[in-house]
Structure 1
Amino acid sequence: MGMPTMHKHHLTASAALVAFLALSACGTSPGPGAGDGGTVRPDVPVAGVRWSVESVTVDGKKTAAPADAHVSINSKGRAGGNLGCNHFGADTAIEGDTITFGQAVTTEMACEKPVQSFENALKKALNGKVTAELEDGTLTLTTADGDSVRLTEQPAAPLTGTKWTVESLTSDRTASSLPAAAQGKAYIVFGKDGTARGNLGCNSFSAKAVTEGPAITFGPVASTRKLCPGPGMDVERALLKAMKGRTTYKITDRSLTLTGADGAGFAATASDEGKAPGAGAATDK
């Protein structure tokens, strides 16, 4: 059976890290964002970082975030991320300690009721002007109404020890989303002992995997032999083909791309196992 029809989209390069410089004001009149002595305040350094959303506080009530809620702003001022279930994108402007979020565009997946409630609160908070305060890797965004979003800087995930959940199959500069029946099932974990284990979407597997620089060389893959639905088997065959011999890999924040010698491979995301899959219970501040 051939590969199922899959939606394709172009991969985009990750945003480069941005260095923020304090600028001296010109003339005798302080400009916008000027502090004492007529010096322009430097922008809060939030761009180029993946911020994991920890909680949203509305009307004094704090709600823990779903597992994958995160926000990042690239060097061109474009914000994107996940509201807890749906992905979003919005233009931003950073001036001193003020971030102005434009109208967000989101996907429209149906979400569980607690997650949807959290998404609505987060989307409302990330709209218009907010005040940003950064301290020890924790970013707090406060709206004019006094509501707030707490975020923490999320470092790049290490190759070994991370559960990498396969999101799409790749070829050259295109990516094909997994069939619905296979989404969230295929994953790989690289061990410090030079092995890899995981699931191909239906069958579990293990193999020797030697890492050297940007390359991973796989040995023969041993797997279970369960019969799986057609789309699942197609994904398994594609993953087995990708994990054949010498491959190259790249990690950007919490995203992994692995490419085989023929240019085909897969893209995966680091699973955040420290949070529950749904939104946390609301607690008083």
Structure 2
Amino acid sequence: MRKQKITHVTAITSVTTVALFTLAACGTESGSGSSAGAGSADGGGSVRTGLPLTDVHWSVDSLTVDGRKTAAPAGASVEIGTKGRASARTGCNTIGADVTVDGDTVTVGDKESTLIGCPEELRAFEKALDGAFSGKLKATVGGTEKDRRLTLTTADGDAITLTSGAPVPLAGTRWTVDALVAGATATSLPKGTEGKAYLTFGKDGSVEGSFGCNTFRGTAKVAGADAAAGSQAAATVTFGRLSSTRKLCPGPEMTLERQVQKVLEGKVTYEVHHRALTLKRADGQGLDAMAAAAGK
């Protein structure tokens, strides 16, 4: 298996605190492929392809390395933009990379990554995906327009198999908090609290969920975009008074609860990129959450 060292990584204090980087590839899923598009100043490569490959959210189905096939964890995905940038979510961290696309050849260049601490199983998959998503890859696209299939194959025969992912709506989706945000820095959740904080927006303007310990419900007014559109930028949610249970929980859960509760106060901006949600206050405090992948 071909391996490539990740470069340009910026750690803040530890492996659980990271500097997030801008990913030009994150955006709305395109209904059709992109053709010729020159590289730009904010990307390190160029795109020249007739394949329906770019500006599509590709959910990773599986990864085959040295003949061994491994199912991908929820949230694993790849996006290749038209401006010479690509991003890969591993199910825990996010990898950004310079990319050049020429026909059916995708060349992945210098990479940078967040450094959120991950469970051992996710770390193993992340390492394998990083190794496979490197160097020259042959892209094969098949299926229908609504259900496209993509295979990225290395020179050694390792392969990443992907499916075009349908975006999910803000309302009606259970969003599970997976990171806390402070400005441009994301921090992993307190140990042992993974999966405990979540929220679901109702189409009637309601919201309910868990802060990480206590459950809550209340109102949430969405403005600036259609809540069912599936991909928004700089739209807002204004939370009303949230009523909650009042049980006492272990220290880590209460720490998470206080941080999540602070984010869900008043007016915040939100962005939905396919299966990822970010909520952020005016002071830069916020959270990241993920919707479970279909069938997982």
TM-score (norm 1): 0.71
Alpha carbons 1:164, 1:268 under 8 Å: kept: no
Trace 1:38-117 onto structure 2 (pairs within 5 A): 42-58=49-65, 62-102=69-109, 107=115, 109=117, 111-112=119-120
Larger radius of gyration between Structure 1 and Structure 2 = 1
Shift of 1:222: 1.2
Helix, strand or coil: the match of 1:257?
strand
Shift of 1:275: 4.9
How far apart, CA to CA, are the structure 1 residues paired with 2:17 and 2:134? Answer: 30
Alignment correspondent of 1:236: 257
Helix, strand or coil: the match of 1:180?
coil
Which of the numbers 191, 208, 215 marks the counterpart of 1:204? 215
More moved, 70-79 vs 99-108: 99-108
Alignment correspondent of 2:190: 180
How far apart, CA to CA, are the structure 1 residues paired with 2:50 and 2:287? Answer: 33
Alignment deviations for residues 53-90 of structure 1 (CA, whole Å, 9 cap, x no partner):
11224566543222232222344433332335554344
Q: 1:93 to 1:242 in 2, by over 3 A?
A: same
Alignment correspondent of 1:248: 269
- The structure with higher relative contact order (CA 8 Å, sep 6+) is 1
Percent of pairs identical after alignment?
42
Alpha carbons 1:250, 1:258 under 8 Å: kept: yes
How far apart, CA to CA, are the structure 1 residues paired with 2:56 and 2:239? Answer: 32
How far apart, CA to CA, are the structure 1 residues paired with 2:271 and 2:118? Answer: 32
Which structure 2 residue ranges, 5 or more long, are not aligned? 1-13, 38-47, 225-234
How far apart, CA to CA, are the structure 1 residues paired with 2:161 and 2:285? Answer: 36
Helix, strand or coil: the match of 2:270?
strand
How far apart, CA to CA, are the structure 2 residues paired with 1:128 and 1:252? Answer: 26
> Quick check: 1:21 aligned with 2:41?
no
Alignment correspondent of 1:151: 162
**Cα-Cα RMSD:** 3.5
Q: 1:244 to 1:119 in 2, by over 3 A?
A: closer
Alignment correspondent of 2:11: none
TM-score (norm 2): 0.68
Alignment deviations for residues 250-280 of structure 1 (CA, whole Å, 9 cap, x no partner):
22333323244x545423232225355xxxx
How far apart, CA to CA, are the structure 1 residues paired with 2:189 and 2:91? Answer: 21
